[in-house]
Structure 1
């Protein structure tokens, strides 16, 4: 079977390629319905990953956040039209200790092999999860699973004093992580720290929000989550180190292209724990589906961070979505109608 894959071939250039589609009993054919643009996709689209990385990765179909509908299941386990979320992390082995999203052998959609910008996608059946949600909200499941991965890791490693928790970064990752923390630790004081008051207002479920240059002098935190990334991650991490109580946990989630300098002296003096978090696995997705299906208010809150839905029927529409995304506060979603 021939499939059409929409691949980035150079910054801001998308090409339609025809490829053979893999069909066997362990794969289910999914038609994407909604795809969400991530900051990582934008770094490829704009070429900001750098010349060497771009040369290694391209041509490649973007997008690792997507939901779709079953169009063919050779085993008949899924009915045609079943709504499913597609897990982008593709483990190639099992490990009894290391989580699959951290195994160096795992492959990840839109980071080394084709993402979900395709007419149909051939998915391993162990990497799809059915849901009953509105797909316009369910497209945020991958983003939610990243926050779920970090919060679950935090639960395992952080000490039990969890009275005050801070989240640095008022973007997409910060929003979903704070929302998960609100439900996981309802008695904790939840504080959000950002650089834009306009975006801070979206975090109405938090106990309080602060601008990073206007924090009360006596404010202290038991634990913190850094969801800033990029150039701002260094300042965010060091501000957390200043404000966090001894033996607190700093959960790192922001991606930076360059090394950052942190105050290791105070990390040592306070006995802090730094936890790295990246991507997610099947279990994180399953917990995210249950999370979104259980709470009406969670779905309502998530709907507020969808800045724009772009109807996509042509490659010109794809380019429009990526260009618009750079000006949107939160998520740009493509309604995939190719």
Structure 2
């Protein structure tokens, strides 16, 4: 049995097109309800990826952050109408490493179609049920929260020195979420946030201290660091982290750069530092985020501060307008109320 589905794919930078196809009725069929634009989506939309990457991956439906409602399930794991968060990482067989680091995995909105379609078909294990009382605007970017969650989980497993002072570099969305989750997981630790934009830093009301990167007090030290800057600015952030971190601390990298970033390996060796890379997430991280939000409902109040745009999407022009609004926003998340 099949049904008609419409996908909305980026054919070339700033140009979306509709694509009609037939969908087999198996697995779980979800109707997207709220989606969230990520910087990776913007890099495709604005044409900021290398031309060979764009030629290889487009046309493609964007967006890997989103939630929806179940409309069909032949697996009996869900009921019609259940609210679910969709997991974009899609393993393609067993591997010795986690699925989010496996070359055998495919990722929606990168290796194949994301969530900008009328319906999305997923395997049952690629969905996590949401409580009905969750803030759905905030829930739209649980995927981004899961990235911070998995990095913090890995950090907890490898850090061998005290966690009295934790530093977060980056005053954007991921820096905000990482600092917030660190404060929730390590309430006795002092959370310091280092950033460039004072107006962004002032939003980190839960942090113990905020510093502009050019105005750090003499003698300040940290035990462990979380780099959430990305791009070419990663270099100066990592340099500052290496200067301020105590011996045998961990540097947890989250920021993505299109270009190689030099690192002062002499000081990494001298201090015996551990550098850990973090990218994407998998099911256990989504489950962990949902459980964390259930147990700490006050987190929604902080996370709601990240929402700067809520755009209703009824046409392709609405989708273009949403991407343009998001592009000029220096801070916060753009949420798409998906009416397609």
Compute the TM-score of the two structures, normalised by the length of structure 2. 0.97
Secondary structure of the corresponding residue to residue 298 of structure 2: helix
Q: Distance in 2 between matches of 1:160 and 1:130?
A: 37
Q: Distance in 1 between matches of 2:24 and 2:169?
A: 42
Equivalence for 2:218: 217
- Please give the residue correspondences for 1:1-338 in structure 2 after superposition, counting only pairs within 5 Å: 1-24=3-26, 27-95=27-95, 97-132=96-131, 133-328=134-329, 329-338=331-340
Secondary structure of the corresponding residue to residue 80 of structure 2: coil
Return 72-81 or 38-47, whichever deviates more.
72-81
Contact 2:57 2:110 in 1 (8 A): yes
Give the drift of 1:304.
Answer: 0.4
Q: Structure 1, residues 67-113: CA drift from partner, whole Å, max 9, x if none? A: 00001112333221100000000011223x41110011100000010
Secondary structure of the corresponding residue to residue 107 of structure 2: strand
Secondary structure of the corresponding residue to residue 223 of structure 2: strand
Give the drift of 1:23.
Answer: 2.5
Give the drift of 1:22.
Answer: 3.2
Q: Structure 1, residues 300-329: CA drift from partner, whole Å, max 9, x if none? A: 100000111000000000000000001222
Q: Structure 1, residues 176-204: CA drift from partner, whole Å, max 9, x if none? A: 11111001111111000000000001111
Give the drift of 1:134.
Answer: 2.2
Contact 2:9 2:116 in 1 (8 A): yes
Secondary structure of the corresponding residue to residue 296 of structure 1: coil
Q: Distance in 1 between matches of 2:161 and 2:263?
A: 25
Secondary structure of the corresponding residue to residue 286 of structure 2: helix
Return 273-282 or 133-142, whichever deviates more.
133-142
Give the drift of 1:143.
Answer: 0.8
Runs ≥4 residues deviating over 2 A? none
Q: Distance in 2 between matches of 1:53 and 1:326?
A: 21
Secondary structure of the corresponding residue to residue 248 of structure 2: strand
Q: Distance in 2 between matches of 1:143 and 1:198?
A: 22
Secondary structure of the corresponding residue to residue 42 of structure 2: helix
Contact 2:66 2:86 in 1 (8 A): yes
Q: How many residues align?
A: 335
Q: Distance in 1 between matches of 2:161 and 2:153?
A: 14
Q: Is there any run of 5+ residues in structure 1 with no aligned partner, and where?
A: none
Q: Distance in 1 between matches of 2:192 and 2:301?
A: 20
Q: Distance in 1 between matches of 2:251 and 2:57?
A: 32
Compute the TM-score of the two structures, normalised by the length of structure 1. 0.98
Give the drift of 1:140.
Answer: 1.9
